[in-house]
Amino acid sequence: MVESTAAVSEWRIGEFDVPGYLRAVGVEPGPANLDLLERLHRAHVFTFPFSNVEVLLGDHPGVKPANVHAQLVERRRGGYCFEHSQLLAAALETLGFSVRRALGRVRGVDSPRTHMTVLVDVDGARYLCDPGFGFSVTGPISLADGAARYEGDRVFSVGRIDDEGWPLWAFRRGDALEHVLDESTVHAVDVEMGHRKTSTDPTSVFLNHLMVMKHTPEGHITVTESGTTVRAPGEPTAQTSLEPSHVVNKVREVGVTLTDREAKRLTEIVERLRD
């Protein structure tokens, strides 16, 4: 499956500096095979944090390709699904992969389509890549009913469900439903609308909580307005409460670049979120 020339143009992949991205993640280009897909997905989620800091600060530049590249690769601000998935999709297309962008609903079918993933066809099989969910897979998982991916003591799985007869894919971490997605066509304007919903709706979780996450060689860390949660394979989940200024220090340690002025603003926001 190859998207039409119009669709590729619509996604403006030429605005991404893919060689610069590959240098940032430390991956050499090569044949468009499953090995490269695995290495690139893993390198991406270990390099760029999931972050809603830009939304909380109130000056998000938007999710057009040039803005996405500047935010993640150049400014190292982190981002969420609309940014991560666009960046990974552009890199994969440039490297010769057959790519389809997909939207999904977080936690259940009654949620809006505000999550973006990347579907990649390799050697006659389709794979789900999920670089922008925060605490998700570190590599591709087969988009097939009953497929599973084991990472340490966690299992991620994909299965078929339907919504009033419309076929969907359910993506689970253990027994928890993370999101459901379909394979209908996605246009760039859909991503812009999803971003507008998540970044400006007063009820959006991204405006009411700090959420910064990163995969690390030791496991996975989540930073919220309350403190940190660290999950390491084979170890009990460790939660630590932190003062607001220490929360912001952790945000920086995870890999979100902040000026001192921005760090001060974020500290004030964290204090407000804790009230």
Active site positions, annotated = 81, 115, 130
Which run of H or of E encompasses 265? helix 260-274
Secondary structure (3-state) at 238: strand
Structure tokens belonging to residue 121:
């066809």
Burial of 121 (0-12, 13-18, 19+ CB in 10 A): middle
Query: Is the CB of residue 62 less than 8 Å from the CB of residue 195?
Result: yes
| d(C-alpha 35, C-alpha 92), whole Å | 13
- Give burial (CB, 10 Å; 0-12/13-18/19+) of 21: buried
Please tell me the distance from the alpha carbon of residue 248 to that of residue 225, in angstroms, as a whole number.
9
Give the DSSP H or E segment for 167: strand 166-173
Task: Find out whether 55 and 196 touch, Cβ atoms under 8 Å.
Answer: no
How many CA atoms within 13 Å lie on the side-chain side of 81? 27
